[in-house]
Homo-oligomer: A and B are copies of this chain.
């Protein structure tokens, strides 16, 4: 389902957010480095596209209408996500020239690092960070080969030659869409989970390994897949638009659980908790920037 053709430009939303914050079109225009009439026309255009009057204009400035306040909440959410993309991307791009080289697993890179790096970048505007996204095993080998300074992993792999610091926690949870029969059950048992076909990541992914481990440890067979997908967000989309359960990182579905698009199903005796860990080679001293980043997180 593509976005409506007349969906406004992100730069227009960004400009509108600045107008709300600064209280005037002209000031917002200056902050964005454009002329005042351009800002006026962009906002007018935005109102036309949205079909809503956003601002009360007066000789003393512009303040949002009641509708404008509500819209402002929605646009803020979009802009936050956009800034996450920017922060993550800047780290990805710094690859070649970067001073602090980070290697992280997918879940951490997608859901946590953009925020952490965004804050870090504001506090250290002159420094660059390079981000390499790999699976957890590969993160460790990059660290050993000296190709990265600091790693973030989410699996309970043994790391004898590494120092580590716990930077958060994650949990695998079983989720279904609200229409699924499980959504109204108080809990299901592990046998039922093991016998029900699930949407899953491909074999070898950390999430899937953890689930298989937990099930076989409890004497059950390996889980059955109804569909295998190559990324966590693909799994989430599939569950949202289909009617099969999955077992997935709670971080990846936090907002869907909050607004009821997905429902968490308790599985008896199944607790898959994972520490999110920062790791680095024990033999090398930790670079100063890495120390600063870790201090931010503790």
Contacts and interface: CB of A to CB of B under 8 A. Distances in A.
B76 A78 contact: no
B78 A85 contact: yes
Give me the 5 closest cross-chain CB pairs, A-B, nearest first: A73-B110, A74-B85, A78-B81, A77-B81, A115-B259
A181 B296 CA distance: 14
Interface of A: 2-5, 7, 9-11, 14-15, 18, 20-21, 31-33, 50-52, 66-67, 69-86, 88-89, 92-93, 106, 109-112, 114-116, 119, 133-134, 168, 178, 230-234, 237, 251, 254-255, 258-261, 296-297
What is the total number of copies of this protein in its complex? 2
Nearest to A252: B73
Contacts of A80: 81, 255
A75 B85 contact: yes
A72 B233 contact: yes
A254 to B, nearest CB: 5
A251 B81 CA distance: 17
Given A52-B89, A259-B115, A79 B110 contact: no
A82 B106 CA distance: 23
Contacts of A297: 260
Contacts of A9: 9-10
Contact of A85 (B33, B71, B178, B254): B71
Contacts of A52: 89, 92-93
A243 B52 CA distance: 34
A106 B67 CA distance: 10
Nearest to A74: B85
Given A81-B78, A115-B259, A133-B67, A72 B3 contact: no
B260 A70 contact: no
B83 A74 contact: no
B7 A3 contact: no
Contacts of A7: 10-11, 82, 86
17 contacts: A3-B14, A3-B83, A7-B10, A7-B86, A9-B10, A50-B93, A52-B93, A67-B92, A67-B133, A72-B233, A77-B81, A77-B84, A77-B85, A78-B78, A78-B81, A78-B85, A115-B259
A117 B19 CA distance: 28
